[in-house]
Amino acid sequence: MKIINAKVYTEAGIFEEKDVYTDGELIAEKSGDDQVLDAKGCYLIPGLTDIHFHGCVGHDFCDGTHESIEAMAVYEASQGVTTIVPATMTLGRDTLKKICEAAGSYKSEKGAILCGINMEGPFIAMERKGAQNGDFVHKPDAEMFRELNKASGGIVKLLAIAPEVEGAKECIEELKDEVVLSVAHTMADYEQAKEAFEHGVHHVTHLYNAMAGLSHRKPGVVGAAADDEHVEAEMICDGVHIHPATVRQTFKMFGDDRIIMISDSMEATGMPDGDYALGGQKVIKKGHLATLEDGTIAGSATNLMDCVRVVVQKMNIPLESLILTYQQISTTALRITIAAKDTSAPVLTDIRRITIFNSSSVESLTLNNTTISTRTVLDDLMYTQSQESHCLTIRQQNPIIKLWSLCEIHSFSSNGGARTSVWVQWNEVDVSYEVPTS
C-alpha cells in the first residue's frame, strides 16, 4: 500500500507531509501492492505504548487469564495503543503469582503486544494506598518479588515501592539492578525521595497521585524527581487526575524527555456507566470518572489515545511532545526493546504500530441497521466484534468536515476467531462498509 499526503512523524521529531509505503505488515521502500490511500489532513504516528493500565472493556489484568489479556490487547490496539505493560494491584501472594504466570505464558497473537508487567503493589504505604486494597499491603520483600518475577518468566519490568517504609532501603539495594524501581503510593518527603533516587530508583508512578503535593516549603517526591535528571515520571492526563495547568507546568519542569503519559485505566474503560471492580473493590463509573464508594479516584476510565486528545486539545501540549513521551521514553525507561525489521522509515515499525490521529466527530454509529453508539469520537467504532459479517455505518455531524481517512476494522469469524483487517476511507456523510468474515 502507498499512503499519501499524511503528516508523518519523523526521526527529527517533527511532522512532514510525505508518502509512506507498506509491504504486507511492514514499512517498505516501495508498495507491496497497487493500493493507494489518501490520508490528507491526518497524522501518521507510531502506535502508543501504555506502561501503566489495569484493564478495559470489562476485563482486568488481575483476572489472571489469557482471555482477559487478549480482550484488553485487542481493545487497546483498536484505540491506537500497540504495546502494553499492564499493572497488577495490591493483592495476596498467591493471587499475584497466578497473574504473573498467566502473563508469562501469554502469546501476543492478537492486538497490542504485551511486553512486560508493571507490579504496582503490594510494597506501598498504607497511608497512601489510594484505591489499592489495604488488606494486602506488604513490607518490601526482595525474595517475594523474585518469586513472582520467576513465575512470570522474568517479564516484570517495573516495581512500585514506597521508599520510607520498613525494609524499603534494603529492598532497593538488592533489586536496583534486577528491575526498574518506582516511587509510588508513598508518604516520602523530599529528602527520603532524593535518597531513594540516589540509591537506584529512577521512576515515579503517577506523579502527584498517591503522594504529597508540591509545596514551596515541602517539595516532596515531585520536587525531588524534578531535581534529578535521571528520574522519569508518569502522569495520568485524563483531565480528571491532574489540573491542566499542573500538566503544563510539569512539562516545563521535567521536559519532554522525562514525562511518560499513562492511562491508569481500569475495566470500565470502553464500557457504559455503571458498577465495576478494581482490586476486588467496587468501582462506580460516571463519564470519565471512576471512584470507590467512598469517593476515592480508582484509576481512570480513559484509554491512552483519548488522553493524548485531552492533552493536545484541552491542555495545549504539542502532539510532537507527546509522541516523544510514549514512543521513546516509555520504552527506554522500562528497558523494553521492540524488535522490528530494517525499514526505510525507522521511526515507524510495522503496520500494527501505525495510528491515524484525527479528532473529527460523528453523529451516530450503526451496526447491521441498529444504532450501537452516539459517542462523539470516531475511534469508538474501531473496536467492533461480531460472530458473522456485519455492516458498519457512520453518520458525520458536519458533512463539510472530512472524517478520519484511515480506519482498521477487525472481524471475528464464528469458526475460529481469526482477525481480518481492512482499510476504509471515509469521505461522505454516510458511509457503509461490508466487513467480511475471516
Distance CA 92, CA 355 (A): 38
In terms of pTM, does the model score above 0.95?
no
Contact status, residue 212 vs residue 218, Cβ threshold 8 Å: yes
- pLDDT higher for 143 or 13? 143
> Quick one: which of 335, 326, 379 has its CA closest to 353?
326
In sequence order, the 6+-apart residues with CB closer than 8 A to the CB of 403 are: 358, 360, 362, 378, 394, 396, 426, 427, 431
Distance CA 161, CA 237 (A): 22
Sheet with 117-119, strands from edge to edge, namely: 117-119, 156-161, 180-183, 203-204, 232-236, 259-262
Residue range 93-138, pLDDT digits in tens = 999 999 999 999 999 989 999 989 999 999 999 999 999 999 999 9
Helix (H, G, I), strand (E, B) or coil at 198: helix
Distance CA 25, CA 385 (A): 22
Fill in the amino acid letter for 393: T
Using the predicted structure, report yes or no on whether residue 164 has a pLDDT greater than 60.
Answer: yes
> Given pLDDT bands bounded at 50, 70 and 90, which one contains residue 352?
very low
> Quick one: which of 361, 368, 407 has its CA closest to 387?
368
Using the predicted structure, report yes or no on whether residue 4 has a pLDDT greater than 70.
Answer: yes
Distance CA 54, CA 86 (A): 6
Residue range 298-347, pLDDT digits in tens = 999 999 989 988 998 899 898 888 887 766 566 556 665 443 333 322 22
Q: Give the pairing type, strands 81-84 and 48-50.
A: parallel
| Measured CA angle at 295 (ends 294, 300), to 5 deg | 130
> Given pLDDT bands bounded at 50, 70 and 90, which one contains residue 264?
very high
> Quick one: which of 283, 243, 328 has its CA closest to 89?
283
Distance CA 202, CA 225 (A): 9
Other CB atoms within 10 Å distance of the CB of residue 81: 27
Q: Give the pairing type, strands 36-38 and 2-9.
A: parallel
Q: At what angle do helices 220-227 and 244-254 cross, to 10 degrees?
A: 30
Cell of 222: 515531585
Does residue 135 have an active-site annotation?
no
Contact status, residue 356 vs residue 404, Cβ threshold 8 Å: yes
Given 264, 306, 379, 380, the catalytic residue = 264
Distance CA 229, CA 204 (A): 13
Residue range 36-92, pLDDT digits in tens = 988 887 888 878 889 999 999 999 999 999 999 999 999 998 888 888 999 999 999
For the chain, the maximum distance between any two Cα atoms, rounded to a whole number of angstroms, is 64
